[in-house]
Structure 1
């Protein structure tokens, strides 16, 4: 009696990491992938519902457009899923304290976490970039800051999508 062959197992993730996989994924899996890039149900549903995308640039353009349309509630939801940028392991304790104090002042003023897109910033300059960003943005009024936050979230989502679909041509 022959032993039946086991079904071939897939080594691919349930969550797509290529544009073709994203386009073919179930709506739940596609949204899961997108929520890792920006924690907004409205944004993730909009991108999922407009599939398939012919290329990564089309997906990024759709992401930008959907991010521009986030309501204040959508922004609050996305901000709730964010955290401060991670500092390198060898960052001095004083730098952590300075960042914590600046973030506390920012959060007290605006009521949410500070977000900034560090794409294109050298790793050893991220701390200075974040601290300078917090200090300069503390002078914004709440409406100005809402516009800046929306842009930073858009840029973060775009960068994260790029990383998620790196094998798709980005």
Structure 2
């Protein structure tokens, strides 16, 4: 469990419903970065590109040296729970990517129901369009996906999340649709547990990209 000296975090304003529900499961592709200067944004990279040991070490060094506010902002792009982000930021420095991912897993397992609700609410904020399912039949598939999202949210009261790391773009839509249909049969407590584990996996993928040290990424700001 988080240490007793973890700073209190003020509640964030709740987010209203967003359009294009079929895009929500793609948020693991958002790019967590720490800008070089205020207002700068890094160009998007590919989350499936796994860093070499050298580039990961370089990116991790920058993450370890970043200012608390910059590190927490980047971590919030990996998981929307502020307590999760504060915990990982406060435990720096990390000796290697494995240690960071292990700490992230531990923090994910320790999410309270309120933390999980906060993280799930945050997942509705960033949507990206499907890159697969083009051609004949794709409109029907997207219509079915919208209906499945609506049924899921009506049953469980939060957005559907699923980790898509490692899938080809043409596999995404069918994988998501099958996942929603299978998980609609879960009891509420069971689905909450499954969603928490999917968020944990998504956070790991985002953290891996965060310290990947892609050349196009802006350097970490240390002050």
TM-score between the two structures when normalised by the length of structure 2: 0.66
Q: What is the match of residue 125 of structure 1?
A: 171
- Aligned residue for 2:72? 31
Alpha-carbon separation, structure 1, partners of 2:97 and 2:107:
15
- Equivalence map 1:67-106=2 (5 Å): 67-83=108-124, 86-88=129-131, 91=134, 92-106=138-152
Separation in 1, partners of 2:97, 2:37:
20
Number of equivalenced pairs: 157
2:100 aligned residue: 59
Partner Cα distance (1:85, 1:111) in 2: 21
Alpha-carbon shift at residue 13 of structure 1 (Å): 2.1
Mark the CA change 1:85 to 1:101 in structure 2 (over 3 Å): closer, same or farther: farther
Q: Displacement of 1:21 after TM fit?
A: 1.2
Higher relative contact order (CA 8 A, sep 6+): 2
Quote the Cα distance in structure 2 between the aligned partners of 1:139 and 1:96: 21
Q: Report the secondary structure of 2:213's partner residue.
A: helix
Higher CA-based Rg = 1
Name the one with the larger helix percent: 1
**Normalized against structure 1, the TM-score is what?**
0.86
Aligned structure 1 segments of 4 or more residues deviating by more than 4 angstroms? 14-17
Distance in 1 of aligned mates of 2:75 and 2:37: 13
- For structure 2, the residue ranges without an aligned partner over 5 or more in a row are 1-34, 43-57, 215-223
Deviation of 1:159 (Å): 0.4
- Backbone CA RMSD of aligned residues: 2.1
Ranges in structure 1 where 5+ consecutive residues have no aligned partner: 1-11
1:79, 1:112 within 8 Å by CA — same for their partners in 2? yes
